[in-house]
Structure 1
Amino acid sequence: MPTTAPAFSDATASDSALRRFLFGLPGVDAVGLEARAASLGTRSIKTTAKAYAIDLAISMIDLTTLEGADTPGKVRALAAKAVNPDPTDRTTPRTAAVCVYPDMAATAAAALAGSGVKVASVATAFPAGRAALDVKLADVRDAVAAGADEIDMVIDRG
């Protein structure tokens, strides 16, 4: 069973403790973010660097299906795409993960077995994150037991 890092054990002790921790986090510097994004948009990138950057981006992607109508077949098709993103170019790297609802994690794990592509699953009362801590923890445990390597969670900050 996963353990909580000692630095965060107080923050995860209860819903109210988690809320206090989250509200205490610093905000995003919107002005600095906009300035940095604007400066990056004007830079010229050479062809080899661009190809490297594209491959790097592909290798960091989580292909995701979070539809109410998801089926095992759709999850297997997405897994095949994650393992072979560009059928015309076998040198294209695999994606990082396939992200599914917890009830499809076992299907994704079976389809991705041995490929090196991880299984990610949403949890913690996705999409709103509005549930009691024990419900969120049970949701995470179920996803991990079904084969999820990573958990994507939504945190209710309000």
Structure 2
Amino acid sequence: MSERNSGTELDVGWILKVNVNQPAVLRRADQIQTRRTVKKEWQAAWLLRAVTCIDLTTLSGDDTPSNIHRLCYKAKQPIRDDLLQRLNVKDLGITTGAVCVYPARVHDAVCALKEAGCSIPVASVATGFPAGQTPLKTRLEEVRLAVEDGASEIDIVINRTLVLTGQWEALYKEICQFRKACGDVHMKAILATGELGSFTNVYRASLVAMMAGSDFIKTSTGKESVNATYPVALVMVRAIRDFYWKLYKVGLQTSGGGSAVPRKLSCGSLIIGGVGDEWLNSDLFRLW
């Protein structure tokens, strides 16, 4: 992973100054998707890169140690041998970017990956995923337990109520507590953008999460009725760019609604156009 985002003091003035022009965002998103396409052999190259940025995930109520074991071996070898040979990339050691599981399954994933002889990161959702409506003390303890069991990335969910009611200082303080509970492991803040009400709220929540020390900002839990959309990702990329120009480099993860090949290709164009191709690696870009 990239260098940690150490965060900064809350800048309420910067946050309240933001007002996103929704029609302009929608027009720009449409332009990027229709005009910036990846063609021919470059499609295969980008899709291979996209595989290395995937958080291979299982978040089901019937997860078992054997399910996690199979998932981890899939993460180690996500593409069939014959396809790798035909593309002449068998020696590249292509794996997924991470394995993502519930806190109760972190230990299983860590053991399975160790057995498989690979160092793929284990990410764990926490803080009352997906709704984030459990008491703060419980959410903090969930983070600590996942870290103790070996998770190297923690995916927190923010309190959407604080965004919808404009309680930016309370949101900042809460995320700072999650960041402290994570210790040395990277923290990814899930914004659940489909429940934030407006592009302006998405941008403001992105800023608060980055100010509080999030190493990634993530579109969705995958459980909302509306998950990752291209315009929302564009707003978040702009927030990442603006934060980078002033302070630190933060990653982006798109979650939910991103399984189709054209959408993955469009994501590459979005990242390159928004913040640059240095973001096109698993340290700063993830897909789910």
Q: Please indicate, yes or no, whether the TM-score normalized by the shorter chain is above 0.5.
A: yes
Tell me which amino acid in the other structure corresponds to 1:38. Answer: D
1:84 is aligned to 77
What is the alpha-carbon distance in structure 2 between the residues aligned to residue 97 and residue 34 of structure 1? Answer: 31
Q: Which moved more, 1:31-40 or 1:115-124?
A: 31-40
**CA distance, structure 2, for counterparts of residue 41 and residue 85 of structure 1:** 27
Q: Deviations over 1:107-143 (max 9, x none)?
A: 1111122413110001001121012222111110000
Q: CA deviation at 1:27?
A: 6.7
- Is the 8 Å Cα contact of residues 86 and 92 (structure 1) preserved in structure 2? no
Query: Structure 2: which amino acid aligns with 1:85?
Result: P
Cα distance in 2 between the residues matched to 1:28 and 1:118 = 35
Could you tell me which of 111, 133, 136 is aligned with 2:136?
133
Match of 1:153 in 2: 156
Distance in 2, matches of 1:71 and 1:150, equals 21
The 10-residue stretch of structure 1 (42-51 or 142-151) with the greater mean CA deviation from structure 2: 42-51
| Residue of structure 1 in register with 2:229 after alignment | none
Pairing 1:13-92 to 2, within 5 Å after superposition:
26=18, 30-42=22-34, 43-88=36-81, 89=84, 90=90, 91=92
Per the normalisation by structure 2, the TM-score is 0.45
Instruction: Kindly state the Cα deviation for residue 74 of structure 1 after the two structures are TM-superposed.
Output: 0.5
Distance 1:53 1:25, change over 3 A: farther
Structure 2 CA distance for partners of 1:48 and 1:103, relative to 1, 3 Å: same
**Contact map agreement 1:83 1:95 (CA 8 A) in 2:** yes
Q: CA deviation at 1:25?
A: 9.4
Change (3 A) 1:35 1:153: same
- Provide the residue aligned with 1:97 in structure 2: 98
The CA distance in 2 between the partners of 1:28 and 1:95, in whole Å, is 34
Q: What residue is the counterpart of 1:109 in the other structure?
A: 110
**Structure 2 residue identity aligned to 1:86:** I
SS of 1:136's partner is helix
Higher RCO, 1 vs 2 (CA within 8 Å, ≥6 residues apart): 2
1:7 match: secondary structure: coil
Which amino acid counterpart does residue 108 of structure 2 have in structure 1?
A: T
SS at match of 2:99: strand
Q: CA offsets, 1:48-94, max 9 Å, x none? A: 32222112211111011111110011111111111100123245721
* Conservation of the 8 A alpha-carbon contact between 1:120 and 1:148: yes
The 3 A distance-change label for structure 1 pair 81 and 131 is same
Task: Quote the residue 1:16 is aligned against.
Answer: none
- In structure 1, distance between residues paired with 2:137 and 2:22: 35
Structure 1 gaps of 5+ residues are: 11-19
The one-letter code sitting in structure 1 at the alignment partner of 2:111 is A
| d(CA) in 2 for partners of 1:152, 1:48 | 34
Distance 2:21 2:157 in 1: 22
CA apart distance, 1:154: 1.2
The letter of the residue matching 2:156 is M
